[in-house]
Amino acid sequence: MTFTFVTLFSNLIEGYFNDSILKRAIEKNIFEVKYLNPRDFSLNKHSKVDDTAVGGGAGMVMNPQPLFDALDSLKKEDENVYIVFLTPVAKPFVQNDAKRLSNKSHIAFVSGRYEGIDERVIEKYADEVFSIGDYILTGGELASLVICDAVSRNIDGVLGNSDSLTVESFESELLEAPSFSKPKNYEGLSVPSEYLKGNHSKIRSLKLALSECKTKFFRPDQLKKHNI
């Protein structure tokens, strides 16, 4: 699988793949990461990539030309590339999207900076458009990393233990039950005694009850959505 980040600021992204699980996945050739800078395609003599908004409005908007040319070159190289735009003006990204996108062979994430991207670019090239939440970031780079991380851990072989995928929050309608590590007692704080007794069916029912409590407390909307 290939992830291509279409961004003016690849240095904001690169470091994330230099450690831990995703670094190992790249070393095992499970996926590769590439970068494409729209500025390299700008026909402006100063390599400008943005301009003031037509019709007025604050801030600069990314011009169509560098992005049209960058994305055309990407599609010419790989006609199957799936192009995802990151903007707060979009549907929210959820776990089901992460699973679905993990079956693509090549995803390109297009990050806007400044006040956004000329709408004609999105109209022409977007296979899908996502927001990662109801807040405004300074650019799409963090959002593209969030989505790339969530997608990549669903690709076969990225996680050491694929069981960890099936019990996670959002894999069912409930948030995941709390986890504990060792020691069993730390500074007078003990893990729930049921976790210690080794009766797996009892542990399962306790975990289910705790999942329900967590969901009711933190995400009552989830319970309503699934009629629980």
Q: Which is nearer to ligand ADE, 135 or 217 (CB)?
A: 135
Tokens of 124: 């022409």
CB of 220 to ligand ADE, least distance (A): 23
- Give the residue nearest to ligand ADE (CB): 143
Q: Which is nearer to ligand ADE, 134 or 187 (CB)?
A: 134
CB of 88 to ligand ADE, least distance (A): 4
Provide the pairing of β-strand 32-36 with 128-131.
Answer: unpaired
What's the rounded Cα separation, in Å, for the pair 36 and 40?
8
What's the rounded Cα separation, in Å, for the pair 49 and 221?
41
Backbone angles phi, psi at 127, to 5 degrees: -85, -30
Q: Which is nearer to ligand ADE, 91 or 225 (CB)?
A: 91
DSSP sequence for 22-35: HHHHHHTTS-EEEE
3-class DSSP state for residue 111? strand
CB of 71 to ligand ADE, least distance (A): 17
CB of 176 to ligand ADE, least distance (A): 24
Q: Which residue ranges make up the site for ligand ADE (CB under 6 A)? A: 86-88, 131-133, 135-137, 140, 143
Closest C-alpha to 113, from 96, 88, 138 = 138
Q: Which is nearer to ligand ADE, 90 or 206 (CB)?
A: 90
